[in-house]
Amino acid sequence: MKTKHGKHIYYLLVILLVWTYAMIAGAAPSIVRAATMCSFHMMAIWMDKKNEGIGALGASLFFILMVNPFNLYEPGLQLSFFAVLGIIWLQRPILKIWIPKNKWMYKVWELSSVSIAAQIMTMPVSLLYFGQFPNYFMIANLIVIPITTLTIYSCIVQLLCTAVPMVLPYVVLFNQSLLSFSNFLVMHMQNFPGAVSIWKVSLWEMIFCMPTLSSSFNGVKRENLISYCSC
């Protein structure tokens, strides 16, 4: 928006839509946490376009824990926090490892870099609670993330079509088909040979592993990227 107050209207509208969607989706604790983190991030960009997001992430975590300190012990919050931290902190260095000249290959690699960054930071937490590592996470994310994104927009269309009974059933059917297809792929991929690596870690091993992974990533080379992420 190029009007005088266009920027303010834009960010207010985005934050309002985020919370509207969160309420419509049922306002589950995980959804509220995600909406809170997104709101703080949008407010940080609103106040400072050069904001990298780490301060906003820390502020959102502080607010969530201030409301309920016991959220700190929830695996969902820990995984969400470290996933976002990984994307903010590591996605750009990973993206710079390889710059494809092909436009579509670059988009695929850009999406992959997001998945790798999130997986690196969430791996210790996942191993602590579940003792498993998904070896095909890059392939799964390349399929599931676009489907999930399309489903979100389609659900918004479904909401807008509630006043149009003739169109609504087709939109609902489309959404159900997207979700069923996504679930089918995920459930089918878990049966692939070597789909999961079993790796149990203790709390202290997780705490030691987290800074080691993030700090040592700067030196990883392109040819060692896949083996590094699935170590």
pLDDT digits (tens, 9 = 90+) for 193-228: 887 888 877 777 777 776 666 555 554 444 444 444
Burial degree of 180 (CB within 10 A; 0-12, 13-18, 19+): exposed
Q: Confidence band (pLDDT; 50, 70, 90) for 229?
A: very low
Higher pLDDT, 168 or 44: 168
Give the burial class of 153: count Cβ atoms within 10 A of its Cβ; 0-12 exposed, 13-18 middle, 19 or more buried: exposed
Helical spans, DSSP H, in the chain: 6-24, 29-47, 54-67, 75-95, 103-130, 137-160, 168-189, 203-216, 225-229
Q: Three-state SS for 53?
A: coil
Summarised one tens digit per residue, pLDDT across range 109-148 is 888 888 888 888 888 888 888 888 888 888 888 888 888 8
Q: Which of 155, 146, 156, 134 is nearest to 181 (CA)?
A: 146
pLDDT of residue 220: 47
- What pLDDT, in 10s, does the model give residues 54-68? 777 888 888 888 888
pLDDT higher than threshold 70 for residue 27: yes
pLDDT at position 195:
79
User: Is it the case that residue 25 has pLDDT exceeding 60?
Assistant: yes
In this prediction, residue 77 carries a pLDDT of 85
181-188: long-range pairs with CB below 8 Å, 24+: 181/147, 182/143, 182/144, 182/147, 182/148, 182/151, 185/140, 185/143, 185/144, 186/140, 186/144
Task: Give pLDDT, residue 204.
Answer: 76
SS3 of residue 197 by DSSP: strand
* Percent of the chain topping pLDDT 90: 1
Arithmetic mean of pLDDT, 80-105: 86
